[in-house]
A and B are shown apart, each in its own frame.
Chain A
Amino acid sequence: MDFMTVLQLLDSTIRLATPLLLACLAGLYSERAGIFDIGLEGKMLAAAFMSAAVAFTSGSVWIGLLAGIGASMALSALHGLASITFRGNQLISGVAINFLAAGLTVVISQTWFNQGGRTPALTGPARFENIDWPGAAALRDSYRAARAEDPDTLDLTGIYWELISGHSILVYVAFLLVPLTWWLLFRTRFGLRLRAVGENPGAVDTAGVSVVGLRYAAVMICGVLCGIAGAYLATGLTAGFVKDMSAGRGFIALAALIFAKWRPWYALYACLLFGLLDAIGNRFQNIELLGIAVPVQFMQALPYILTVVILAGFIGKAVPPKAGGEPYVKER
C-alpha cells in the first residue's frame, strides 16, 4: 500500500466517521443525563429524509438541514414525553422510534415524490459542497505534475490537500463538536448538572434544579446532533435519501459510545476506528492478514464484536451512568 492509498483510506475514514461521531455525541448528551437512547438510528433516518426532501423542494441545503434537525427533534420530544414525562421504558420507546422512522420515511416519501421510497437526486446548492482549503488545489496540481514525471513521488502535502481539505462543512462541525462537548460537559455548570442528573437525580432535585428540565434539555440536544448526522448522510455523504439509508449507523454510534465509555474524546477515537473499519471494508473486498484471508463480513461485524468485548469488561470496564434508564420519581 503506497502513501496515497493510505491517505485516501484515511480521507474516507473521516467522511464515514462523521455521521457516527455526530450520532455518538448525541447519545453522549442523552445518556449522560440518564436517558438511554437506542433511537439514534431512527432519528438519523428521519433527519436524512426530511433534509433531503426539503433541500430538494426548497433548493437550499441549509433549509434542508434545519428541517432535518426539526424532524429529529420531534422524535426526541416524543422520546422525552415517553421516558421523562410518562416514565415509560426508555428502551421500548427507542425501539418504537426506530420503527416509526423506518416506516414513515418510506410512506411519506412515496406520497411526496412517488419514487419508490426515495427522494430525487440532489444537485448544486441542494447539497453540501466540499470545501477546498486555500492552496489545496495548487498543491494537488503540482503533485500530479510531479507524479506524471516520476510515479514514485512521495508528497507529504497530500496530508493537507487530500486529508484535511475538501470535506463538507458538517465534517468540520462534527470534529469541532468534540472539544465543545468536552468543555460543555466538564467545564460548565450546565455540564456538571447534566452529568449529575444521570448519576444521582435525587441530589440534583434536592439542590433545587429541575431534573425534568435538564433531561429534556439533554434529549433535545441529542435531537439536534442526530439531525445534523442524518442531514450529512443524505446531503453531504450522498445526494438524496434512500430507504433505510442509515443502515445501522445509529447502532454503531451507540457501540462507539460504549466503546468510549461515555467520554467525548474517546468517542472521537472510537468513531474514527469504526470509520476506518468501514473504509477498509469498502475499499478491499478481501484482506490478507498474516496469511489468512479475512472475509469482508468479519470487518463489518468487527465494531459490534469489539463492543461486546468491551462490554464484557475484558479490556477495561464500561460503566454506564448510574441512573441511566431509570425514570425519576420525585419524592413527595
Chain B
Amino acid sequence: MDKMPNWADVILIPLISVLLALIASGLVVLYIGESPLEAMLVMIRGAFGSAYGWGYTLYYTTNFIFTGLAVAVAFHARMFNIGGEGQATLGGLGVALVLLLVPWPHWSVALLMAVLAGALLGAAWAAIPAYLQAKRGSHIVITTIMFNYIAAALLVYLLVNVFRVEGSMTPETARFAEVVHLPNAADFAGFFGFRASTPLNVSFFIALLACLAVWIMIWRTRLGYAIRAYGHSEKAGVYAGINPTTIIMVSMLISGGLAGMMAVNVVMGEAERLVLEFVEGAGFVGIAVALMGRSHPVGVILAALLFGALYQGGAELQFEMPAISREMVVVIQALVILFTGALDNMVRMPMERFFLALRRRGRAADTPAE
C-alpha cells in the first residue's frame, strides 16, 4: 500500500519544498532590509512583463531544459551526473568546430550538424566517468566534478592558444559565418514584439523536442524500462538480465549528450562564437531543475521556466533594487536544491503521517457502528 496518493508525491511535496525555499529566500531579502514581496514583484515583472523579458526568460529556460533533462536521465539510472558543466563546455567545442571548419549552405543543415556535434562531444566527455563507474567502480560524482575542472582548463587552453583570432587579445574564436546565424524570436515570432536583439532562438524548439524524446525513451521504450528498473533496484535489474555496464554507459551518454546540446543555444544561437565560461553554471542549475521537476520532462520544463524567470528576474532586480546583488539568484537556487533534494524527507515524513492519519480516520468512519 502506498503511504500517500501519487498526486501528493508528484505535485504537493515539490510545491511545499519550493515554497519553503522561497520563504527562506524571503527571509534573506528581509535581512538585507528590502521587502521580499516587492522584490518578487520586480522579478516577476522583469521576467514576464515584456517581450524583452520573455526573450531572456525563455532563452535561459532553453539552457536549463537541456541541463535539467541531462541530470534527470542520469537520475533514472540512479547516477548523479554533476558534470553537466564540463559536458556542456565540450559540447560548445563541438558546435564551434563544426561551424568554423565547414562552410554550411544553410543554417538548418548547420543546426542539425551542430546539435549532433554538441551531443557527441558532450557524450564523449561523460563516457570516461561512466566507463570508470561501470568497470572500475570509481564514484561518478567525484569523477564528473574532476572532469568539470579539466574541461574548463582545456577550454581556456584551446581559446588562448589555438582558436584565438590572430591579433586579438580576447580568448574567443572568430565569429561564425552570417549564413549559420540562427533565426531568433524576432524572425519567427516577431508579432509578439520580440526585437532583433533577443537571445531567444530556434534552439528553444529543439529543447522541447528533446523533452518529448526523453519522455518517449524513458516511459515508452524497452531501454527506458531497463534504465528505470536498474535505477529502482540494481539487484533486481541484474536478476532480470539487465547489464549494469550497458545501462550506466547508455544513460550517461544520453545525459552528456543532452548537456552538450545546451551549447547550441548559447554558442550558436546567442554568442555566435565560442567564448570563455559560456556555460555560466547552467550545468549546476540542471541539478535543481531535475530535482524540482521530479526527473519528468514536463516537470523539467516547468522547473526550467521557473529558473529561467529567476535568472532574468534576478538581472532586473539588480537594476531596480541595487541593495540586492545578482547572487541572490544563486541563494534561491541553493535553497531549492536544499529543500527539494537534501531535505526532501523533512517535508515527506510529516506528509506521509498526515495522509496515513487521514486514511485511518476515513476507514474508522466507514466501519458501521455496532
A residues lining the B interface (CB < 8 Å): 38, 78, 81-83, 86-93, 95-100, 102-104, 106-108, 110-111, 117, 248, 251, 254-255, 258, 295, 297-298, 300-301, 304-305, 307-308, 311-313, 318, 320
Q: Does B323 contact A (CB under 8 A)?
A: yes
Residues A107 and B28 in contact, CB atoms below 8 Å apart: yes
Residues B146 and A96 in contact, CB atoms below 8 Å apart: no
Residues A99 and B333 in contact, CB atoms below 8 Å apart: yes
Q: Does B236 contact A (CB under 8 A)?
A: no
Query: With A38-B145, A311-B136 as given contacts, are A96 and B342 in contact (CB-CB < 8 Å)?
Result: yes
Main secondary structure on A side of the interface with B: helix
Residues B338 and A96 in contact, CB atoms below 8 Å apart: yes
Main secondary structure on B side of the interface with A: helix
Residues B153 and A251 in contact, CB atoms below 8 Å apart: no
Q: Does B138 contact A (CB under 8 A)?
A: yes
Q: Does B324 contact A (CB under 8 A)?
A: yes
Q: Which residue of A lies closest to B157 (CB)?
A: A297
Residues A298 and B344 in contact, CB atoms below 8 Å apart: no
Residues B145 and A251 in contact, CB atoms below 8 Å apart: yes
Chain A residues lying within 8 Å of B160, measured Cβ to Cβ, are 297
Partner pick for B345 among A86, A103, A251, CB 8 A cutoff: A86
Query: With A86-B346, A301-B154 as given contacts, are A107 and B337 in contact (CB-CB < 8 Å)?
Result: no
Residues B331 and A92 in contact, CB atoms below 8 Å apart: no
Measured in the bound complex, the distance between the Cα atoms of B146 and A106 in whole Å is 25
Complex A-B: 11 CB contacts under 8 Å: A83-B342, A88-B344, A92-B80, A96-B334, A97-B338, A102-B330, A111-B323, A248-B149, A251-B145, A258-B142, A311-B143
Measured in the bound complex, the distance between the Cα atoms of B199 and A268 in whole Å is 49
Q: Which residue of B lies closest to A105 (CB)?
A: B327
List B300-327 residues whose CB lies under 8 Å from chain A.
323-325, 327
Chain A residues lying within 8 Å of B80, measured Cβ to Cβ, are 89, 91-92
Shortest beta-carbon distance from A173 to chain B in Å: 28
Chain B residues lying within 8 Å of A110, measured Cβ to Cβ, are 323, 325, 327
Q: Which residue of A lies closest to B21 (CB)?
A: A96
Shortest beta-carbon distance from B284 to chain A in Å: 7
Chain B residues lying within 8 Å of A97, measured Cβ to Cβ, are 334, 338
Q: Which residue of B lies closest to A102 (CB)?
A: B330
Residues A107 and B327 in contact, CB atoms below 8 Å apart: yes
Residues A312 and B331 in contact, CB atoms below 8 Å apart: no
Chain A residues lying within 8 Å of B332, measured Cβ to Cβ, are 103
Shortest beta-carbon distance from B271 to chain A in Å: 21
Given A86-B342, A311-B143, 13 other A-B residues pairs in contact with their CB atoms under 8 A: A86-B346, A88-B346, A92-B287, A92-B337, A93-B343, A96-B338, A103-B330, A103-B334, A104-B331, A107-B28, A297-B153, A307-B142, A312-B138
Chain B residues lying within 8 Å of A117, measured Cβ to Cβ, are 325, 327
Most chain-A Cβ atoms within 10 A of its Cβ — which of B149, B335, B346?
B149
Chain A residues lying within 8 Å of B16, measured Cβ to Cβ, are none
Residues A96 and B337 in contact, CB atoms below 8 Å apart: yes
Measured in the bound complex, the distance between the Cα atoms of B145 and A307 in whole Å is 11
Q: Does B267 contact A (CB under 8 A)?
A: no
Measured in the bound complex, the distance between the Cα atoms of B153 and A94 in whole Å is 23
Q: Does B33 contact A (CB under 8 A)?
A: yes
